[in-house]
Structure 1
């Protein structure tokens, strides 16, 4: 129950912050922290003290609730001061924030022309988001500038919202104008502008989509509602953001599947070619060995070297004269290669047996190696000798 009450007070404090009642918000946050201490309340208190909403409970007659000691308040003020001292910024960063604050439209914020393409918008957003991210830029108003950049991209990257903005956006009040002045000058139009050109995704979620969920430095930044001039354009749409992320995941999965199919395409083509080739291939006209399954059962010898080979029954009708001579030259060449390979295997086997017999001192292996015949080697020797004689 204490936690629920503290959460209720924190939400009430946020409403006070939005309406500019900083002192009341601070008092509610002190009460929430006293009932149920939490990081949410402490962060908001730090933010109020750090941004000048109040220098402490005493300054604006806001009394801390019971249980808060002077040491706690001084510790909080010291932490805020020491944190600000560490977060230095350059003059370029300060000038950059001022430029964003003084921009009159979303195109000027991103620094692009009105005819900018989607790629131009992405490049501009990437560059500015990294430059003004609150983890990197500690100049006053950097968080507001970062939010303005995210909102500008979220609107202009949506074709429908961009079309509406191009039609009505220039007629609206300037982005950094106070809320009450906008109502007074354009009482009816402001509500339409706020509704039509409100981003569907928060700046933090947009940044996470672009940069993988974290800032390149790996730092963690906690965003707080400080009543900024740009805050009216940034109401998070977590459900829509979740749906968009789901669409991005599905699109990536589809692209990955398509990429995998493209990578497998050459392999599939080779397989199809191989199958087609085998289907179209005809049986060879000869074989060095008897192969009845292929119909090569008729024994013949080459005219030049007497190499035996086998053919089918229709061989003599197809091969005669010069065609027969060319084929038999091929047969003799294949036969010599076959004998050379077989001879090398026989010699290798004989050598292996002799080495084993010597290694294990086995006379039986030695005798087997010595008595082993090299039949294919002898055939090759006789064939080469016959070729020389002719």
Structure 2
């Protein structure tokens, strides 16, 4: 709230400067810095103190010479043009809209039933509007991060499913919170930005052809292979070999530990003691099974859940056909 109020003060101060109302502009800039210091407000205030702006003719110099000197001062005192904003009102409105959003879907302007294609299309449109190189409005950097991380979460099936179940409210679901910290690596908190596996700039390059993350991955892999070859050429003692294997052992141990915190799946294609309630998808009538407490525990979209059921079922059929065909070819 303080940040938005500070930005409004700066905008009003710029308007006063263009009208030659220096004192009012100075008061508003001082108030803006008190609410939320910004570089722009500090620069404008410094220019006022250095005399870069002058008052209107009606508030010109006063002295003992009376009306004649005031008229002369009025003729010579022309207000200098105020610094124009480097952004348009539409760009500022786009940033403010993002700030008011309550969830990832609202950030991208899509519904909870949106497909990956819809989500990516919405992201591309917003990314071109909010990229900091193009949009200089206050808060554009945070808004750009918000849309980047929203698309990163909503185009990942597991992260999206977890987000639909629990959203940003992790206090009531400690087990889910632990699982997500181990696997999903994201948090929702607009004021602090979003934490994902890629930066907002890397995601932008991935969508528009930069492929920066791929280059980084390639560099890390190449260095790893060079180090591995060097270790292979040098004779190693038993202790050195153990040290080299220690990271792998730790990774295996962490993977085994994290598996204890992973929550159960929402459904199963085969019945069991845990998944005993039979259901069918609305479109293809594919049977699947859920727990007894499905209606009370699952808060996400049933339509999207059933789409996932049908996709998994069809993939299983494809794999079965593939295995059977390979078996016949080898006979």
User: Does the pair score TM above 0.5?
Assistant: no
Q: TM-score scaled by structure 2?
A: 0.35
**Rg comparison, structure with higher value:** 1
